[in-house]
Amino acid sequence: YVAARYLARRGAAVTAYALAEPKTTEAVAAASRWAATGGTVAPIGAVEPSDILIDAVFGVGFRGELPPAVAAWRGSADRVVAIDVPSGLDASSGAAVKGVLNADLTVALSNFKVGHFFGSGPDVCGRLVLAPLSLPEAEATMYLCEAEDAPLPSRKRDAHKWSAGAVAVVGGSAGMAGAAVLSAKAALGFGAGAVATFVPSAIAGELDAAHPEIMTRGVGVGSGWDGVKAADLDLDRFDCIVVGPGMGSGGTELVHSLLASVDQPIVLDADGLNVTTPADLADRRSQTVITPHGGEFKRLTGSGAHHLAASQLADDADAVVLLKGPNTTIAQPGSQPWLVTTGGPELASVGTGDVLAGMIGALIGRGLDAPVAARSAAYWHGVAGADIATTSSVTADRMADAIRRFAK
């Protein structure tokens, strides 16, 4: 009724449709003011074609099924503007029922809702805008990461390569050496002063010749990780260890020994995740960041990828959890999770996750706390991907190069 009155005041031809009689004091008063202006109210099932349909039926209160009369609105207008949440979308989860009203624009009242960003929310809501309201501040269930929440450290004038963040990437194997290289190049491009790859000895020479900017250390015998332990790697000078990119299935013993004996923060990615459990991580003496996609997350937890489950895993594993998906969730023990919405489907490309792991490693190596490093890396990773997508397809090598412009 309020929207109808203001639109009519500006000269629009407006009809209000009501699902039921107003009940609250505020709703009764708003309906009375609308009637006093000569405004009309029609049954909700009698919607006529229009230029714009304002969907203000349910908002955050929607549960159950959508009434047929409301579902029949689909296609009745050229554009749909939803107030707070489109009718048929669960504000707490993003689950959508049959007949949900797809909006071109959703105006979120006071704060964004979880359902705007998860499940069907991104597809149903269209463009999202926030309308601040003077309401009592409620406890946030998630924090939305914006540029000011994604700091990038500056390099000191007297820095040298080992004081500007030293990152070791432990990974690679026959046929998958590129993953370790991508992580290493990303760490270097995102400001780390010294980066080394620790790879099976059989592939070390080739990588060393092809990538002189990265220190290459060959370990073990052959092209795999059989028999290699943490003690075989000279990691003392490194500030952060990225474990897993391109490692393959033979690194179980090495991953477990690294988790048990290394004192530096570890970023555990890709194949490193596939051989661990939350209990393996909980006993670590230093910070750990894990970066599962939905499938890896389900193996670790037995549940679907959801921000509440990510927070539970963070508590169980005493680790920072960066859960990849259409939007990225960063959860940490004992705190509300963060949501990163930069980037999009263009990031669904082989190797972009390896780049992200290297970026996180660089920021931890340069002194950021692990939760901050994870969300900052995810934010700028998404920005870089979106930027590349404006002119070309997004590939991991382009990502590793593009992130350089954000590093300080």
pLDDT, one tens digit per residue, over 211-244 is 999 999 999 888 889 999 999 999 999 999 999 9
Q: Residues of 331-354 as b/e, b for ≥16 C-beta within 10 angstroms?
A: bbbeeebbbbbbbeebbebebbbb
Considering the domain architecture, whether residues 167 and 118 belong to the same structural domain is answered as: no
- Among 93, 120, 138, give the residue marking a domain's end: 138
pLDDT at residue 330 greater than cutoff 80: yes
Domain of residue 204, CATH code: 3.40.1190.20
- Any bridge partners for residue 200, and if so which? 219
Q: Is 17 helix (H, G, I), strand (E, B) or coil?
A: strand
Write out the two tokens for 132: 């601040």
* C-alpha closest to that of 205 among 236, 237, 172: 172
Question: Comparing 175 with 376, which gets the higher pLDDT?
Answer: 376
Confidence of residue 70 (pLDDT cuts 50, 70, 90): confident
Task: Give residue for tokens 């670790």.
Answer: 300
Same domain, 245 and 311: yes
Share of the chain above pLDDT 90, in %: 75
Pairing of strands 338-340, 328-331: antiparallel
Question: Are residues 133 and 152 part of one domain?
Answer: no
Give mean pLDDT, residues 339-367. Answer: 95
Final residue in a domain of this structure, among 77, 105, 138:
138
Instruction: Give residue 249's pLDDT band: very low, low, confident or very high (50, 70, 90).
Output: confident
Q: Which of 108, 138, 168 is the last residue of a domain?
A: 138
> Helix/strand/coil (H, E, C) string of 251-280?
CHHHHHHHHHHCCCCEEECHHHHHHCCHHH
The whole-chain average pLDDT of the chain stands at: 92
Judge if 320 and 365 occupy the same domain: yes
Cα–Cα distance measured from residue 81 to residue 338, given in angstroms and rounded to the nearest whole number = 27
DSSP state letters, 42-97: EEGGGPPPEEEEEE-SSGGG--S---HHHHTTTTSEEEEEEESS-TTB-TTT--B-
* Percent of the chain residues past pLDDT 70, beyond the cut: 99
Same-domain check for residues 73 and 179:
no
268 lies in which domain range? 147-406
Q: Angle, to 10 degrees, between the axis of helix 352-365 and the axis of helix 370-389?
A: 140
Q: What's the pLDDT tens digit per position in 280-327?
A: 999 898 999 999 999 999 999 998 888 899 999 999 999 999 999 989
51-61: average pLDDT = 90
Residues 392 and 209: their CA atoms lie apart, in Å, by 29
Are 126 and 251 in the same domain?
no
Same domain, 372 and 243: yes
Which one is predicted more confidently, 75 or 260?
260
Asked if 301 and 394 sit in the same domain, the reply is yes
Six-digit token pair at 180?
Answer: 């370790």
Same domain for 204 and 308?
yes
Q: Please give the tally of structural domains in the chain.
A: 2
114 and 222 share a domain?
Answer: no
pTM: 0.88
Vertex 299 angle, CA 273 and 226, to 5°: 40
What local confidence, expressed as pLDDT, does residue 157 receive? 76
pLDDT the model gives residue 136: 62
Predicted confidence band of residue 112 (pLDDT cuts 50, 70, 90)? very high
Q: Do residue 162 and residue 308 come from a single domain?
A: yes
pLDDT at 380 over 70: yes
- Is residue 59 scored above 90 in pLDDT? no
Average pLDDT over residues 135-160: 84
CATH number at residue 4: 3.40.50.10260
Backbone φ and ψ of 16, nearest 5°: -95, 140
Residues 95 and 212 in one domain: no
Residue 161 has pLDDT above 80, yes or no: no
* pLDDT at residue 363, as a whole number: 98
Q: Centre a 10 Å sphere on the Cβ of residue 194 and count the other Cβ atoms it contains.
A: 21
